[in-house]
Amino acid sequence: MNGLAISSSPQSQPFDTRISYLKILALSLLREIASAENVSEGQFNDTIDLQAEVQRFERELIRSALIHTGGRQRQAARLLRTKVTTLNTKIKKYGIEIPNEANSHLQLIRVAED
């Protein structure tokens, strides 16, 4: 769904890791709902902009990796199998905020309120 590899046996993972995955999933679902609402409000036409969709998906993957790693870019880059410099360039290009552990919980609340 969000490109992060999740073990087939949830019981083999520590509780905190499973909570982290659930946070990422919740954020992704809330963003997809917001996107679907925009489509239902008439912002959709008969064409799909492939480049825009790829960029939206890439932004979501980067956000998810950063949330999962508590904002640690080196770990996020490793998770995404990319270079740290490439990840940093994309973070700047897309204007992605780098979350920390405490901030990721607040981000979930803000997205849920929108």
Q: For the chain, which residues make up each domain, given as ranges?
A: 14-113
Distance CA(97)–CA(37), nearest Å, equals: 23
CATH number at 14-113? 1.10.10.60
In the numeric block, which tokens belong to residue 14? Answer: 């520590």
Spatial neighbors of 31 by CB under 8 A, at least 6 apart, are 60, 111
Distance CA(86)–CA(17), nearest Å, equals: 26
The predicted pLDDT at position 98 comes to 83
Please state, in angstroms and as integers, the Cα–Cα distance from residue 2 to each residue in 42, 43, 59, 93, 112, following that order: 26, 24, 11, 20, 18
Quick: pLDDT tens for 27-67: 777 877 877 776 655 555 667 788 988 898 899 889 888 88
